[in-house]
Each structure stands twice: as C-alpha cells, then as structure tokens.
Amino acid sequence: MRPRETRTSLLQRVVDLGGATVAQLSNELDVSDATVRRHLDRLEAEGLLQVEALRRGPGRPSYLYRATESGVRSVRDQTPALAERLLAEMSRLHVEQAALSEALANQVAQTHRAEVSGTSLEQRVSAVVDALRPEGILDRWERTDSELQLVNNACPYIGPATQSSCVCDADKLAIEKLLGVEVEQTARLATGDNGCVYIVPLEPVSLDLEYPQAV
C-alpha cells in the first residue's frame, strides 16, 4: 500500500476498535511495528490521533492510540448523506424552503459580517470572497467592463445542493447580505455548470437589509 493508504487504514482501525496499540495494528495489518509507529506519529502530528500511556506494572509503558474528534470525522463523517436525507424529508413534509435559505444565509452573514469592510464595491467584493473562501462558497472574483463576477470552482456540499435549491439560494442570499446589494446567480455546479457564478453590476441595486440579532 502507498503511505497515505496505509495511514488511512491505520486510522480506520483505530476508530473501529475505539483505540489500539502499535502491536495490535501491526498484527492486524501485517505491517512492521516501526512502520506502524511512523505512520501513527504522522497521524498524531496531523491532529487525527492522540496517545496515552498504559502502565501495567514495572517496566516501560505501552501506548494506546485513540482517534481525536477530527480523526473520527475524517473516516466516518456522513454529514453530506444526512443533509441529503434531511432535505428530502423536509421537501416531503412541505417545509418552506425559502425560510430555510434565509435562516442559513443569516447564519453565514452573522459569522462573517465583521470581516467585510471597504468603501468601494470592489473592496467589499474582495473582502466577501476572502471571508467566504474557507466556507467553500467562493474562490475568486474578477472584473469585466460592466460587472464583477464572483466564482466558486468546487461545491463543498454538492449532494445536498443537487437535492434542493435552498442550499444554493442560501449562498446567494449570504453574499447579498454581506455586500448589501443585489446579486444574480448565473451558473450552478449543482445543475452541471463548470462553476457557481454570481454577478454584481458595477452600478448595483442596494438592498435595505435587517439582520436578526445573534443570541
């Protein structure tokens, strides 16, 4: 196996077992103790494992490796599948999707509002892209003769987005709330386009937005 595949297998077994020693993992995966230990050290350095000493009488202790919360998520995170099921059930129950989009957008806007400043439209657009890049909502922006284009190259929740338009609508609303102007979405990854594209005219229509108070 390649090194990354070996580390993935080791982490998977640690998660499955609820914790494991070097000897256990070496026996299960038929890999030398030295190789196992090297990969476990790498996983620990990446924050995916934590180690504790096990003392059983005199002599050197053995060490038990457990997955951190990040480690568990990396091999067992079923959030996308859960989100798809939730959206499907909400649709079946006729939950108002516009209200859900608004609520999601408000959460994103509240989280990042302090990061967005600037007197010009381009300054604010640049700040919004920087703020939403870690969320996976935007990657870059560019200016044409008549508009600013905000682009996302890879959707972080493509499954739920193909299940319901409320996910894409929430992203658009969040961008509008942070910019304070109307935004048009002209392309969506969820519908097969090469990217999500949001258009802001150079002479945009301002929005009078009120934000719910954070609690």
pLDDT band at 209 (very low <50, low <70, confident <90, very high): low
Whether 10 and 39 have beta carbons less than 8 Å apart is answered as: yes
Collapse the DSSP code of 100 into the 3-class scheme (helix H, G, I; strand E, B; otherwise coil) and give the result. helix
Domains of the chain: 3-76 (1.10.10.10), 79-201 (3.30.1380.20)
pLDDT band at 196 (very low <50, low <70, confident <90, very high): very high
* pLDDT for position 45: 95
Q: What is the dihedral of CA 72, 74, 76, 82, to 10 degrees?
A: 120
pLDDT band at 60 (very low <50, low <70, confident <90, very high): confident
Please choose, from the candidates 155, 163, 208, 215, the residue with its C-alpha nearest in 3D space to the C-alpha of residue 185: 155
Q: Is the dihedral of CA 161, 165, 166, 168 positive or negative?
A: positive
Please choose, from the candidates 198, 147, 208, 149, the residue with its C-alpha nearest in 3D space to the C-alpha of residue 177: 208
Quick count: other Cβ atoms within 10 Å of Cβ 147? 17
Q: How much is the average pLDDT of 189-204? A: 93
Quote the pTM value: 0.68
pLDDT band at 210 (very low <50, low <70, confident <90, very high): low
